Amino acid sequence: MCLPTVLIRSYELRPNKRSLDGHIRVSNRYNLARTWPSGLLIYQKMTDQTANTDIFQRLQAGELLRKDDPEYARFGEVVSRTIRLCVEMNATATSVDQVRNQLSTIIGNPIDESTAIFPPFYTNFGRSIRLGNNIFINHACSFLDIGGITIEDDVQIGPRVNLTSENHPLDPTDRTTLIPRPIVIRRNAWIGAGATILPGVTIGENSVVAAGAVVSRDVPPNTVVAGVPAKVVKSL
């Protein structure tokens, strides 16, 4: 299940972010205002630090995105370009080299020759994907990267894996607001076929996510997680 966020005036209400080893991780993008008895934390948005930056800098800083944002059209242009280029890549690329070259254009950074991506590959934004060296990404993976997706060296990703770095508020009146939360997959991790990694999650170094797992909390290094929601089932 996704970690929902509820917006209340100038505050953001969200569940405690715990990793699967039980430790609480607190985002450094918010000031802790108070703790509720129910175990929820309230964070006051640090809007003064992002008021004068452009929309892409604000997304990288984790600021919420609404459709009435003055720069929303710039965001929409990038999304439209990415959709077009992604469709072209999946329709025309006939080799791993062609996929690598075309995806490099989509994300705006060269992908190392040691990294291989099998088509089809899907992304909705592209420019917030960061890929290390010697990565393997199998068929039909989907990277929703508006919140940021970073994959370190030597990572293996199975077919039909979904990485989703975007969330929405529970509040029906604010449901279209986008909440960016980065995903990080540390060195030498292995993500099994059909797994889903939810917004804000970090997968620890050398860890394994079992096929079909849904990961909503940080995964400690050197562990195996499985299930829905994913839980630690083994230490390596």
Question: What residues are labeled active site?
Answer: 168
Compute the Cα dihedral for 95, 96, 100, 101 and give only its sign. negative
Alpha helices in 5-144 (DSSP H): 55-60, 72-92, 96-107
- β-pair type (183-185, 202-203): parallel
What is the C-alpha separation between 205 and 188, in angstroms, rounded? 6
Centre a 10 Å sphere on the Cβ of residue 233 and count the other Cβ atoms it contains: 14
What is the C-alpha separation between 11 and 30, in angstroms, rounded? 9
Quick one: which of 9, 68, 2 has its CA closest to 44? Answer: 9
In what helix (H) or strand (E) does residue 119 lie, and over which residues does it extend?
none
Which residues in 53-197 belong to E strands, given as ranges?
A: 116-117, 121-123, 129-131, 136-137, 141-144, 149-151, 156-157, 162-164, 166-167, 179-180, 183-185, 190-191, 196-197
Q: Taking each helix axis from N to C terminus, what angle separates 72-92 and 96-107, rounded to the nearest 10 degrees? A: 170
